[in-house]
Structures are given as C-alpha cells and as structure tokens.
Amino acid sequence: MIKLRIATILKNRVTSPLKVMFQDIKNGQFKIGITRFLVSVFRGTKISYFLSQKIHNMIIKKLEKEFLYVLDKYSDYSVKCEYDAKSPIWVCWMQGYDNAPIIVKKCIDSIRISTNHPVHIITKDNIDTFIQLPDYITKKYNNKSIMDAHFADVLRVALLSKYGGFWIDATIFIPEKLPEEIFQYQFYTCKRIPKQSGCISDYMWTTFFNGCQKNCIVQTVVRDLFFEYWKKKDYSIDYLLLDYFMMLVYRNLPKAKQLIDNVPYNNPCIEELQNRMSMTFNKNDYDQLLYNSDTYLFKLSWRMNFEKETDDGNTTYFAQFLEL
C-alpha cells in the first residue's frame, strides 16, 4: 500500500510533469516548461502559488504579443444582443449518451428536465448539423494535434457565439429548475468570490457552465482567438487555453470586462456534492444541499471511483445519487 502511494506521488509530481516539461521545451517554451514542472514539485505550498502566477503572466504576455491584433476589430463592437426564451442548451459527450458513464447519464438527464429550453447533445456524429468549423481545425483534430478537450472548447465558443444559450458540461448535475433569469444576461457563468487558488480565472468565470446571448462579444472574440491560434499552431500552450483567452478578452476589451464583472456571485456550494459522494448519507443534509441552498447546480467528475457503501457498511451519498 505504501509502495503504491509513493508510486502515485512520484507519477503525479515528477514523472507526468517531466513529460509535460519536455513537450513544452520541444515547443519552444523553455521557461514555461521549467516553471510548470516546479509548480508540480512544490504543489500545495506558497512557492507553488507564486510559480503558478509566474506561468499565468508568461502565457498571457506571450498570447498578447501574438494574438492581440484579433481584438482590434472589436474595439467598437456594437452588435445588439437580446433575450431569447428558446435559446439552446449545449451538452457535449463525443461518444454519445448511450456510451456515457452512469454519472454523465445522470447529469444529462437532470439537465434535460431542468429547463424548457431545447437541450442539444453534441456528439462526434452530429457536429456538422449545428456548426461548420474551419477545415484546418477539423484536420488538426482528426490527426490528434488538437486534443478532445481543446476541440470541445472551440465548439463551445463557436456554438455560443452563433446561437447563444448555455454550454453545460456533461458532468453538471442540476437537481431543480434552472432559473430563467440567467438567460437574460448578455453573459453569464458560475462565479464565486475570488481567492488565492492559483487558477487563471480566479473564480470570475468557469468554462463548464457558461452562457450568453447570440453574438455576445465575449464568446465571439474568444472564438476568433481560437480560430487564429489553431491556424498557426499545432499544440496548445496550456490545457486551460480557453481560460487564458477569456483573460485576454477581460484585460483588453472594456465591454467584455463589464459583462463579466456584472455577473453576480452564484452557486457557492457547487463542489459540495462531489466532496460528499463517499461519505455516509444524511437525508436532512442532502435535502438541504440540493433543494434549500443557494446553489442550483453541482460539478461532478466521472473519473472518480465512488463506493455505494462506507467501510462500516453505511449508504453513501453516491448510492443515493444513483437512485435519483
């Protein structure tokens, strides 16, 4: 058991980060690669937080130097955005609903019954029904230069720019109705009080729950940034490239910044259900969290292995979740 724990720590803090570092260096990102590796080595310490900020600054400066011109044509952007009672909700699971893990199926089911807005499940077989992406992006995705996650990011902003509505990750669970008023914002997202987390967004937005009205400047500019980036590059400078493009827009376009700043803080307990999945089930606490808190959506993970019983034989929150 101890050997397995040590092996896991070495993989997470040394072996895997080394692979990423060498890939960074191969792509001409020496300083970013070294710093990113040191973040993993010192994970959980103040040094790691300090180094994370350095990485953010290096990547932002690099992206601004190469792609700030994309924002120039949007300095006087004045396309009218309007509330649409039938704006769609987009959920993506490339392999299709039938091939999704049980947690994903439960989440998709909850999304479908949470709203009167049309819900579209995007798969690899129906993308062209909704959006035509540039050929060079599709080709790079097919030859694996663009990862699944980054391709989904391009889809996300392209669909939201064209149609509006909400992109909701397939691991979002919604126990009750989505508030209709969130569709009335030009831009809306899950937003929490900032804290020193080391994440690029600092909780000002999330990419897993992101919505807007058709032609919103935020999603439209980020879409164009992706198009220009993948026209020139065969690799992603960072896994969270979408967040970096959001920050680029936030820093350089006052109209977009105002839309993001106007989003009220919401869903403070979004991670709480995930945190409780392996704990002994308590009905009062469960009902309070799902139905009587100020949180109406919960972020889960299909990659975690949850048990239906605790070591002492008690039913877990995960077991109850499966019964919903």
Q: Is the pTM of this model over 0.85?
A: yes
pLDDT digits (tens, 9 = 90+) for 85-119: 999 999 999 999 999 999 999 999 999 999 999 99
Sheet holding 165-168, edge to edge: 119-122, 89-92, 165-168, 209-212, 187-189
**Mean pLDDT on 282-297:** 93
The two structure tokens encoding residue 122: 């995007």
The two structure tokens encoding residue 108: 């998709």
Instruction: Look at residue 41 in the predicted model and tell me its pLDDT.
Output: 80
Instruction: Look at residue 15 in the predicted model and tell me its pLDDT.
Output: 73
Side chain identity, residue 245:
F
Instruction: Look at residue 1 in the predicted model and tell me its pLDDT.
Output: 52
Residue with tokens 């009750």, as numbered in its chain:
176
Q: For each of the domains in the chain, give its residue range(s) and CATH number, in order of start.
A: 2-73 (no CATH), 83-261 (3.90.550.20), 272-322 (no CATH)
Residue 66 predicted with pLDDT over 70: yes
User: Three-state SS for 209?
Assistant: strand
* DSSP structural state of residue 264: P
Instruction: Look at residue 291 in the predicted model and tell me its pLDDT.
Output: 92
User: In 10 A of CB 310, how many CB atoms?
Assistant: 14
